Amino acid sequence: MPVVIKSRLSSIGGRLTLLYTLVVLVAMALLAIVVMWRLSATFNAEHQRFLRAKTAEMQTDLDDAHGQPGGLLNEIAKETDESDVRQYQARVLSNDGHVLGETPGMRDVLQPGAFLMSPSDPAVMRVRKAGAHVFALATASMRSVGMSAPLQVQIAMDVTRDAKLLAELRRAIWLAFALLTPLLVIAGYFVSEHGLAPLKRIVNAAREVTPEHLSARIPTDPPWPRELDELVMVFNSMLGRLEEAFGRLSRFSSDLAHELRTPLSNMSSSLEVCLLRNRSEDEYREALESNLEECRRLHSLIDNLLFMARAERAAAALQVEALDGEDACQWVIDQQLAAARSQGFGIQLHGNAQVLADPVLFRQALANLLANAIQHSKSREDVRVELRTQADGGAQVEVIDHGVGIDAAHLPYVFDRFYQANPSRRHVDGEGTGLGLAIVKAIIEAHGGSITLDSRPDAGTAVCLHFPSLPQQYRA
């Protein structure tokens, strides 16, 4: 089932379970190894101590017997014969390997060859299994006064009980591993399920968000675990931005339909009226002229829409130049001056700055701002254009008028496409379609800059464009 294994491991829960199980098993294995090692080392030391003590005792016995093996054998027989449970058995050999005496029955379990021969250190020991018993074996070479050759003494200590204890312990540890492993996997599964439960809740909450329910959010009460808190916040603010963009888009579509329908229905109704009966040449001309006017409106609307769509995508294709702000502004002012003069005021230009901008887009933005300023002026005071260089090297272009101003309620929306604070004025004043400021905003954002609008009703409006100082590579 490779597919199943893969999908388990590609899940965080599966990985956590596996890791958790492995870590606990490794910790347990380390503990078991240390315990076993300490215990068998303690037993070993104990056995060695016993064998050394026995060897030393026998040396004393041999010395007491003035080097006669018989005396030593007697002592051995006394110690090992009498007890039922023998702690040790011993054998004495001459230097050439002749058995001089041994604990009765020793030959049946331990042949002389089972011992290491001629060791230099009596502590050197080997452990041997003989039937159901386990022995720790040591060989010592002993000599005493008046002896021509040393004796070899073989001592076997019965360590069956200790060996059994170790074996039991080892079995118990294996059993614990066998039983604990599945338990750990199950526990790990529940722990990771519990830990990941908030993620499932997020998924369920996110499922509620559909185009019809874009206002739904992932609830933040009760609070999420610290690790997920940021994710939820980011997700919710992303939903907020999407909802806003979605709302703007659907408003835009209905506004656009409305904007297109009005001139078209004007045209068709005037044509219908005209066709009701025969008309004079002048009447036909008038009808055609009014239709031509509507056609122009449609044309300029579509031009503006196209322009804005281009400006919104323009960031990559900007033809940024270092413009002399004064020259560029003066060019636009010259275009608009006649309209201002016809209303009885002029346009002043103050200051200068180098502006890093696409010249065509810069002029379009300023032209839209000036058109608004002229259109909404009510006093005969001049409109002012102010150019400034900012501390960070960017440039500011501000257009200030003393017109009707914008009501605070409208301010948040004036940059929206088709939004008009006072639509009834539109047909009186002519060209406005509510796209002017939206275009300016698209242009300034394509430059990486920003726009601010400050307005008080009946006092006037100031719109400020901030053009950033672009990175070195854009400079001329």
Ligand X SMILES: Nc1ncnc2c1ncn2[C@@H]1O[C@H](COP(=O)(O)OP(=O)(O)O)[C@@H](O)[C@H]1O
Positions that interact with Mg ion (CB under 5 A): 372, 432, 436
404 binds ligand X (CB under 6 A): yes
Q: Which of 270, 433, 450, 469 binds ligand X (CB under 6 A)?
A: 433
Q: Which stretch binds ligand X (CB under 6 A): 21-29, 42-50, 103-111, 416-424?
A: 416-424
414 binds ligand X (CB under 6 A): yes
325 binds ligand X (CB under 6 A): no
| Shortest spacing between CB 17 and ligand X, in angstroms | 60
Which does residue 406 bind out of Mg ion, ligand X, none, counting CB within 5 to 8 angstroms by kind? ligand X
Q: Which stretch binds ligand X (CB under 6 A): 224-232, 251-259, 426-434, 443-451?
A: 426-434
**Mask: binding to ligand X, 435-474, rule CB under 6 A, as x and -?**
xxxx----------------------x-------------
**Which CB sits closer to ligand X, 365 or 437?**
437
| Shortest spacing between CB 378 and Mg ion, in angstroms | 16
Which does residue 62 bind out of ligand X, Mg ion, none, counting CB within 5 to 8 angstroms by kind? none
42 binds ligand X (CB under 6 A): no
Strand partners, 101: 92
Which does residue 325 bind out of Mg ion, ligand X, none, counting CB within 5 to 8 angstroms by kind? none
Q: Which of 17, 154, 354, 372 binds ligand X (CB under 6 A)?
A: 372
Q: What distance in Å separates the CA atoms of residue 437 and residue 197, rounded to the nearest whole number?
A: 48
367 binds ligand X (CB under 6 A): no
The alpha carbons of the chain give a radius of gyration, in whole angstroms, of 52
**Of 167, 174, 166, residue with least CA distance to 42:** 166
421 binds ligand X (CB under 6 A): yes
**Residue 436 half-sphere exposure toward CB, CA atoms < 13 A:** 18
**Which CB sits closer to ligand X, 153 or 406?**
406
Which does residue 433 bind out of ligand X, Mg ion, none, counting CB within 5 to 8 angstroms by kind? ligand X
Q: Which of 347, 420, 442, 447 binds ligand X (CB under 6 A)?
A: 420
Q: Which of 102, 162, 398, 401 binds ligand X (CB under 6 A)?
A: 401
Taking CB positions, which residue lies at the least distance from ligand X?
A: 436
Neighbours of 73 (CB within 10 A): 19
**Which CB sits closer to Mg ion, 263 or 436?**
436
Which does residue 401 bind out of Mg ion, ligand X, none, counting CB within 5 to 8 angstroms by kind? ligand X
Q: What distance in Å separates the CA atoms of residue 175 and residue 173, rounded to the nearest whole number?
A: 5
The amino acid sitting at 254 is S
122 binds ligand X (CB under 6 A): no
Distant-in-sequence, close-in-space partners of 153: CB < 8 Å, separation ≥ 6: 55, 58, 72, 90, 91, 92, 93, 139, 140, 141, 142
379 binds ligand X (CB under 6 A): no
Q: Which of 69, 122, 188, 403 binds ligand X (CB under 6 A)?
A: 403
118 — phi, psi (to 5°)? 45, 55
| Shortest spacing between CB 433 and ligand X, in angstroms | 5
**Which CB sits closer to ligand X, 69 or 263?**
263
CA–chain centroid gap for 358, Å, is: 39
Which does residue 461 bind out of ligand X, Mg ion, none, counting CB within 5 to 8 angstroms by kind? ligand X
Q: Which stretch binds ligand X (CB under 6 A): 117-125, 327-335, 348-356, 428-436?
A: 428-436
State yes or no: cis peptide before 222, omega within 30 of 0.
yes
Q: Which stretch binds ligand X (CB under 6 A): 91-99, 285-293, 386-394, 403-411?
A: 403-411
Neighbours of 145 (CB within 10 A): 8
**Which CB sits closer to ligand X, 90 or 404?**
404
**Which CB sits closer to ligand X, 86 or 417?**
417
| Shortest spacing between CB 290 and ligand X, in angstroms | 21
Site residues, ligand X (CB under 6 A): 372-373, 376, 401, 403-406, 414, 419-422, 432-438, 461
